[in-house]
Structure 1
C-alpha cells in the first residue's frame, strides 16, 4: 500500500482530524519544491528521522498520486486548488452584460475543475494505460456541457431580453447557487465514470490488495461528487446572498470601495475555509461494508469491510 494510503489508514478517522490535516498541508508555498525534492521526500519516508519523515509525508500527500505513485501535475495539486479556483469562481459569478464573457469564465472554471477531478481520480484500474478516445471525448463533452449550463443565467437574461429587476436578481443571485452545486456534482460523476464501470482496488485491514470492486468505485465517485457539490454550492451561495443583502443597505451603497470588495473578499474567505472542509467530508481511505461488495469479494472482508482509496 502506498505511504499516502498508509497515513490515511492510520490518521484522519474523524472529520475534525481530517480537517486539521488538510488545513495544515494545503500550503501553496509547499509547491515550490522541485520534482527531485518530491522524489527524495518519498525516499525519506522510510527514514528513522521522525521530523524528516513527517515533512516528507506532508509533501508526498499533496504532490504524489496515491494509486500510481506519480507526481501530480503542478496545476492540479491540492494546495494549488485555492489560488487558481478563487479568481475563476469570482469571475464566473460576476453580473455580465453579455453572454460571451460569461461563457469564457465558465469555460476556464469548468476546464480547471475537470482537470483537477481527472488528475486526482482513483486510477488503480488504469495503470500503464493511455487515455482512451472515449475518455477524451467524455472530458471534452463535460467541459462543453458544464460551460453552457453554467452560463445559463446570463443566457436567459440576454436571449429573453429580461428587463424585470426581480427576475434579473433571481437569475444573477439565486439560480447560480443550485446550478453551481449540480454542475460540480455532474462534473465528478462524468469525469470519473470509469471507476464504477471498471472497479477500483480494494484492500483488507492489513493493507493487502484483494481485487477490484465496482461497488467501491461507485461509492468513491458519489462521495467525491457530494463533497465537490458542497464546495461549489457554498462558494456560490455565500457571496451571492451576501452581496444581495449588503447592497440593499444605504451605507454600503454610499461606499463604492466597500460595495466592490464584498464579493472578492467573501469568495476568497469562503473558498479558503470550504476547500479543507470539502476534502474532509469523507475519508481518503474509506471503508465499504461486506454486504455492499460483490459476492466474489465478500469472503476477503474478514473484518466486515474492505478499504478503498476515494480519490479527491
Structure 2
C-alpha cells in the first residue's frame, strides 16, 4: 500500500504546502459523504497501525489523507463540525464578505450593523473553536466572552469610524468593514484561546515526543493565526470595494442593487479562492520554535530528558 503518512508535497516548502492546502480547502470536500470519510479514516488508521491494505493505490492513499485531514482534528482525532472546516471557509466567508460589503456601503443602520456582526462573529467563533489546539481546554465562558467581545468591538469600530469619516471619500468608507473585521479578530482569537496563553501548549521534538507546555509557543502560534486570518479576508474586503467604486464611476452598475450584491459576492469568492490556500501555506498548522526561545524553566526540563544534546527546535500545532 502507498504510504499515507507522508504527503507527496514537501511541507517544508511554500509550494509544497500550497499544493496541499489547495486540496484540503477545496469546498467540494464539504459534501464528502460519511461513507467516504469513514473509508478514508480506515485507510489512515490502518497505515498508522502498520496494516497494509493491498487494493489501495497511491492516488487513493493520497486522496484518503486529504479527506481525512480536511475533516478530522489532528490533536484528538475527532470529526470537526462541518461549517468550521477549512473546506467550508471559502463559501461561508464569501457569503459573509458579500453581506458585510452590502450593509456597509456605507453603513446603513445600527440594526444592520449589529445583525451582520452577530452572524459574522458567530461564524468566526465557530471556526476559531474548530481549528484550535484541541489539547488546550476552552470553557463555555471563554467562548461566550470571545464572542461578545468580538461582536462589540466590531460594532464599535464600524460605527466609530463611520462617525469620523462622515466627510471622507466614499471609498474610504467602504474600507470600514475591513477595519471592523480586523478589530474583531484581534479580540476573538486571543480571547477564544486564552487558556493557551495562560497554561501554554504542548511542544514536542521532531519524533513527536512530548517535551512540556510553553506559553511562548502559544503566543507565537496565536499571533500567526491572527495574521493569517486577517490575510484571508483582506484581498476581498480591500479590493472588491475598490473595483465596485471604479465600476460605479463608469456607470456599469446601473442595473440595480441586486446586480451590485451579486457582483460583490462573486468577486469576494474569487479573492477567497486565491487567498485561503495561500494564507494557510504562509502560516502552516504545524509550527516550530527554536529551543533557546522557550521559557528557561522548560529548557531546563528538556535538558533533563536528554542525555545527548537537546533538540535545536521544538514543534507544535498552532491551529489554523
Match in the other structure for 1:23: 22
Deviations 1:179-237 (A, max 9, x none): 33333333222212221211111110112222221111111101010101112222210
Report SS of the residue matched to 2:249.
Answer: coil
Aligned equivalent of 2:152, options 134, 145, 166: 145
Displacement, 1:279? 1.4
CA drift of 1:255 comes to 6.1
Shift of 1:132: 2.6
The answer for the alignment partner of 1:74 in structure 2 is 82
Among candidates 114, 132, 139, match of residue 132 of structure 1? 139
Matched, 1:55 2:57: no
Report the equivalent of 2:110: 99
**Residue aligned with 2:156, SS:** helix
Q: 1:19·1:276 contact (CA, 8 Å) conserved in 2?
A: yes
Provide the rounded CA distance (Å) in 2 between the counterparts of 1:153 and 1:296. Answer: 44
SS at match of 1:247: helix
TM-score by length of 1: 0.84
Greater mean deviation of Cα atoms: 276-285 or 180-189? 180-189
**For residues 39 and 142 of structure 1, do their structure 2 counterparts lie closer, same or farther at Cα, with a shift above 3 Å needed?**
farther
Deviation at 1:23, TM superposition (A): 0.9
Matched, 1:117 2:119: no
Give the aligned CA root-mean-square deviation in angstroms: 2.9
Matches within 5 A, 1:1-312: 7=6, 11-35=10-34, 37-45=36-44, 46=47, 47-48=52-53, 49=56, 50-94=58-102, 95=105, 96-126=107-137, 131-149=138-156, 151-152=158-159, 156=163, 162=166, 164=167, 166=168, 168-171=170-173, 173-250=174-251, 252=252, 261-298=262-299, 299=303, 302-312=310-320
**SS, match of residue 80 in structure 2:** coil
Question: 1:27-76 CA distances to partner (integer Å, 9 max, x unpaired)?
Answer: 22223334454344222121453333212211111101111110001111
Secondary structure of 1:210's counterpart equals strand
Whole-Å Cα distance in 1 between the matches of residues 146 and 187 of structure 2? 12
Residue 72 of structure 1: SS of its match in structure 2? Answer: coil
Contact 1:62 1:78 in 2 (8 A): yes
Residues 1:139 and 1:181: Cα distance change in structure 2 (over 3 Å): closer
Unaligned regions of 5+ residues in structure 1, if any?
none
Report the 3-state secondary structure (helix = DSSP H, G, I; strand = E; otherwise coil) of the residue aligned with 2:136. Answer: helix
Quick check: 1:106–1:150 contact (8 Å CA) kept in 2?
A: no
Q: How many residues align?
A: 298
Checking the alignment, whether the CA contact within 8 Å between 2:121 and 2:147 is kept in structure 1 is: no
CA gap of 1:136–1:174, structure 2 versus 1, over 3 A, is closer
Q: Distance in 2 between matches of 1:196 and 1:42?
A: 32
Q: How far apart in 2 are the matches of 1:51 and 1:64?
A: 20
- CA deviation after TM superposition for structure 1 residue 124, in Å: 1.4
Paired with 1:114 and 1:120, the residues of 2 have a C-alpha distance of 10
Higher mean Cα deviation, 25-34 or 234-243?
A: 25-34
Change in 2 beyond 3 A, CA 1:273/1:10: closer
